[in-house]
């Protein structure tokens, strides 16, 4: 039977987590899942802030074109 | 080196997901490949989940002057995102940008970048730039990032880096974390011998033997042999450090196969180092061989032991009861290392030799034949028989009359095996130099086997009579003597009076009587 922890890790990875990780207990799997979550969260936070900040460094003349590429 | 590779993978995972390596201790229960796969999944996830946005950011870079891009990268985007965007950027722009970003910022990017995604960038970046970043990573002791990149650098760049970095400790650390171990063959192949020696010494002075030894297990066999041979040429003090590290880190299972393919002089030196012969070290080596079935590697090494090493081995064999002997015999059988095993047990105490004989008796008919063939091909009858010589008559009697019969008529099977292997004649000829052993063995054979011996072998090799009969008379083995005399040839019979005349008076009378029983008379 698939462990709930392995399922959660798979969801965070977006692919099926390696089967051999099922040897780990729920707490251990949770530690890995939380670490991946933190990385993704960091990526999200940094990406949002980067887009805001980046545009402020783009010369006014080009800002519209860059915004169009970035956000369609 | 499984154990070390495993540790390296856990450290790389900890580095990637920003947790303390100590918190991932539980990953020691997971196999190395699974950890590598997990790292790849995490890297892919971070690269792909905002792939479209990263692609758009990378595309917009075309619109902006490089100066502004550099400012945006360093002030707005940051190294973590730059690491993921880099793989989406046009290579020429990425190379140009990498040349303008600050070295510390580039080193920060290295921490999160997946080198698999930026191959063309690494191939195209000027060596001087990569060297600057490498120096910064070494300054930070970020050997994991270094190791992740090394395998993706072009030769010219790699050469420049290897020449410029004279810190052998850093090189060793980096090599330990190299992602694609196969590239180590190429990299180490680029190093001059003097540099390799310097790195070996650095391993000793920096207590980095586990990492250095791991390298030997990562590279191909010829290179591993070269590294091992160079290491074994170092001073006693360096080698003592190596053996201590092997023992303290319990690396024998990984290293034994490597020692097995070193040159013979290296093996001799290594195996006879005082530290290698310490009883607890030797015991651990043997345990490793037993646990991981490394006898094929260990047995040929053991024949290099000097007297002291053999003594230690004998003591261990005694302490280890039957198991060690059984293992040696079993390894000899499975890997056709009979001669090596024979060398090894040669100096064992008598009761152990008897144990060896009994263990041999438990082998299948095919194994017995292969054992005798090996003795024959190696012309080692003397070695085998001198073992029998060392047994007391009492032990021989026990083996032939009781011990071997408990193993299912062993002597009969041995005779059959000798016949199957076609080695009977030469075995007997070889044994004639060992009179007492031969005679007591023959005498103790059951009736049917004595008959078989005389009928099949003496008839085929009449010259054996010249050796056997005087012995039979001397030791008053009258039944055997009668049987042999009955099989004697005409030419032997013609010399009967001379044989008789040469005998001491007290024996002559009895032998003469025996002769008469089989149709020999003094006046012939």
Residue B14 near chain A (CB below 8 Å): no
Confidence of residue B99 (pLDDT cuts 50, 70, 90): very high
Digit-coded pLDDT (tens) for B349-371:
777 777 777 777 777 777 777 87
Average the pLDDT over each of B18-32, B408-422, B434-448 and give the range with the smallest value: B408-422
The candidate with the shortest Cα–Cα distance to B369, out of B434, B418, B427, is B418
The CA distance from B113 to B79, in Å, is 9
Count Cβ atoms within 10 A of the Cβ of residue B201 and give its class: 0-12 exposed, 13-18 middle, 19 or more buried: middle
pLDDT at position A1, please? Answer: 45
Confidence of residue B123 (pLDDT cuts 50, 70, 90): very high
User: B105 in helix, strand or coil?
Assistant: helix
pLDDT at position B257, please? Answer: 86
Residue of A18, A47, A52 with shortest CB distance to B37: A18
The CA distance from B326 to B352, in Å, is 11
pLDDT at position B255, please? Answer: 87
Contacts of A14 (CB under 8 A, 6+ apart): B44, B45, B48, B49
Kindly list the residues from chain A whose CB atom is less than 8 angstroms away from the CB atom of residue B75: 53, 57
Confidence of residue B270 (pLDDT cuts 50, 70, 90): very high
Mean pLDDT of B51-65: 86
Mean pLDDT of B277-299: 86
pLDDT at position B44, please? Answer: 92
The candidate with the shortest Cα–Cα distance to B266, out of B303, B242, B235, B231, is B231
Average the pLDDT over each of A17-21, B173-177, B214-218, B262-266 and give the range with the smallest value: B214-218
Residue B524 near chain A (CB below 8 Å): no
Q: Is the pLDDT of residue B132 over 90?
A: yes
Average the pLDDT over each of B72-86, B119-133, B309-323, B468-482 and give the range with the smallest value: B309-323
Kindly list the residues from chain B whose CB atom is less than 8 angstroms away from the CB atom of residue A39: 17-18, 42, 46
The CA distance from B270 to B251, in Å, is 15
Give the number of residues written for chain B: 524
The CA distance from B417 to B365, in Å, is 6
Mean pLDDT of B397-412: 60
pLDDT at position A63, please? Answer: 82
Q: Is the pLDDT of residue B268 over 60?
A: yes
User: B518 in helix, strand or coil?
Assistant: coil
Q: Is the pLDDT of residue B311 over 60?
A: yes
Query: Which one of A25, A33, A57, A61 makes the best mutation probe of the B interface by having the most chain B beta carbons within 10 Å?
Result: A57
Q: Is the pLDDT of residue B266 over 80?
A: yes
Average the pLDDT over each of B77-91, B216-230, B235-249, B277-291 and give the range with the smallest value: B277-291
The CA distance from B33 to B39, in Å, is 10
Confidence of residue B101 (pLDDT cuts 50, 70, 90): very high
Q: Where are the alpha helices (DSSP H) in B293-432?
A: 295-302, 307-319, 322-335, 338-345, 350-361, 365-377, 381-390, 393-397, 404-406, 410-421, 424-431
Q: Is the pLDDT of residue B321 over 50?
A: yes
CB-CB under 8 Å, A50 with B81: yes
Helices and strands of chain A, counted as H and E runs:
3, 0
Looking at the complex, report in whole angstroms how far the Cα of residue A7 sits from the nearest Cα belonging to chain B.
14
Residue-averaged pLDDT of chain A: 89
pLDDT at position B523, please? Answer: 57
The CA distance from B449 to B445, in Å, is 6
Digit-coded pLDDT (tens) for B175-200:
888 888 888 898 998 899 999 999 99
Mean pLDDT of B262-291: 89
Mean pLDDT of B472-484: 81
Digit-coded pLDDT (tens) for B9-23:
999 999 999 999 999
CB-CB under 8 Å, A56 with B48: no
Residue B44 near chain A (CB below 8 Å): yes
Average the pLDDT over each of B106-110, B231-235, B332-336, B390-394 and give the range with the smallest value: B390-394
pLDDT at position B294, please? Answer: 85
Looking at the complex, report in whole angstroms how far the Cα of residue B126 sits from the nearest Cα belonging to chain A.
28
Average the pLDDT over each of A16-25, B81-90, B118-127, B448-457 and give the range with the smallest value: B448-457
Count Cβ atoms within 10 A of the Cβ of residue B252 and give its class: 0-12 exposed, 13-18 middle, 19 or more buried: buried
Mean pLDDT of B18-40: 94
Residue A3 near chain B (CB below 8 Å): no
Question: Residue B363: which region, alpha, beta or left (left: phi > 0; alpha: psi -120 to 50)?
Answer: beta
pLDDT at position B430, please? Answer: 62
Average the pLDDT over each of B236-245, B274-283, B328-337 and give the range with the smallest value: B328-337
Q: Is the pLDDT of residue A43 over 80?
A: yes
Of the ranges B8-12, B211-215, B434-438, the best mean pLDDT one: B8-12
pLDDT at position B423, please? Answer: 67
Maximum alpha-carbon separation in chain B: 126
Q: Is the pLDDT of residue B277 over 50?
A: yes
CA angle B170, B176, B182 (to 5 degrees): 125
Residue of B42, B68, B76 with shortest CB distance to A36: B42
**Share above pLDDT 70 across residues of chain B, in percent, rounded to a whole number:** 85
């Amino acid at each position: 039977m698939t462990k709930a922890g392995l399922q959660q890790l798979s969801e965070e990875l977006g692919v099926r987590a390696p089967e051999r990780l099922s040897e780990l207990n729920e707490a251990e799997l949770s530690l890995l899942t939380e670490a991946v979550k933190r990385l993704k969260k960091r990526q999200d936070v940094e990406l949002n802030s980067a887009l805001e900040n980046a545009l402020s460094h783009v010369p006014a003349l080009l800002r519209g074109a860059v915004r169009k590429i970035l956000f369609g | 080196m499984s154990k070390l590779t495993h540790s390296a993978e856990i450290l790389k995972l900890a580095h990637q997901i920003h947790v303390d390596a100590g918190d991932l201790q539980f990953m020691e229960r997971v196999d190395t490949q699974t950890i590598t796969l997990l790292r790849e999944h995490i890297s892919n996830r971070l690269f792909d989940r905002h792939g479209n946005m990263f692609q758009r950011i990378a595309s917009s870079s075309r619109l902006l002057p490089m100066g502004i891009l550099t400012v945006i990268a360093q002030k707005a985007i940051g190294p973590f995102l730059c690491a993921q965007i880099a793989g989406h950027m046009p290579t020429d722009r990425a190379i140009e940008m990498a040349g303008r970003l600050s070295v510390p910022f580039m080193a920060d990017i290295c921490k999160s970048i997946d080198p698999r995604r930026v191959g063309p960038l690494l191939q195209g970046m000027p060596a001087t730039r990569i060297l600057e970043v490498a120096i910064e990573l070494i300054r930070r002791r970020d050997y994991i990032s270094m190791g992740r990149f090394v395998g993706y650098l072009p030769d010219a760049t790699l050469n420049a880096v290897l020449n410029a970095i004279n810190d052998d400790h850093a090189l060793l650390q980096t090599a330990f974390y190299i992602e694609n171990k196969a590239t180590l063959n190429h990299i180490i192949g680029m190093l001059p011998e003097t540099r390799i020696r310097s790195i070996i010494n650095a391993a000793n002075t920096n207590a980095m033997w586990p990492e250095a030894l791991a390298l030997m297990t990562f590279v191909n066999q010829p290179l591993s042999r070269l590294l091992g041979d160079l290491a074994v040429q170092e001073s006693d003090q360096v080698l003592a450090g190596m053996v201590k590290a092997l023992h303290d880190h319990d690396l024998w299972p990984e290293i034994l196969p490597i020692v097995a393919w070193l040159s013979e002089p290296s093996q001799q030196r290594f195996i006879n180092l005082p530290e290698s012969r310490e009883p607890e070290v030797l015991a651990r080596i043997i345990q490793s061989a037993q646990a991981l079935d490394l006898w094929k590697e260990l047995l040929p090494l053991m024949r290099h032991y000097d007297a002291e090493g053999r003594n230690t081995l004998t003591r261990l064999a005694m302490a280890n009861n039957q198991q060690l002997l059984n293992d040696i015999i079993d390894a000899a059988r499975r890997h056709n290392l009979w001669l090596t095993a024979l060398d090894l047990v040669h100096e064992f105490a008598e009761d152990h030799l008897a144990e060896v004989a009994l263990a041999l008796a438990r082998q299948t008919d095919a194994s017995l034949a292969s054992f005798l063939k090996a003795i024959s091909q190696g012309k080692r009858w003397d070695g085998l028989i001198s073992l029998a010589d060392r047994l007391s008559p009492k032990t021989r009697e026990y083996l032939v009359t009781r011990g071997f019969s408990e193993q299912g008529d062993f002597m009969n099977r041995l005779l059959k095996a000798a016949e199957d292997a076609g080695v009977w004649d030469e075995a007997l000829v070889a044994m004639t130099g060992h009179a007492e052993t031969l005679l007591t063995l023959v005498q103790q054979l059951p009736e049917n086997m004595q008959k078989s011996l005389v009928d099949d072998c003496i008839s085929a090799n009449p010259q054996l009579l010249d050796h056997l009969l005087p012995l039979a008379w001397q030791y008053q083995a009258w039944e055997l003597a009668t049987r042999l005399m009955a099989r004697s040839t005409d030419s032997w019979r013609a010399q009967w009076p001379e044989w008789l005349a040469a005998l001491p008076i007290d024996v002559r009378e009895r032998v003469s009587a025996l002769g008469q029983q089989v149709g020999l008379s003094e006046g012939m």
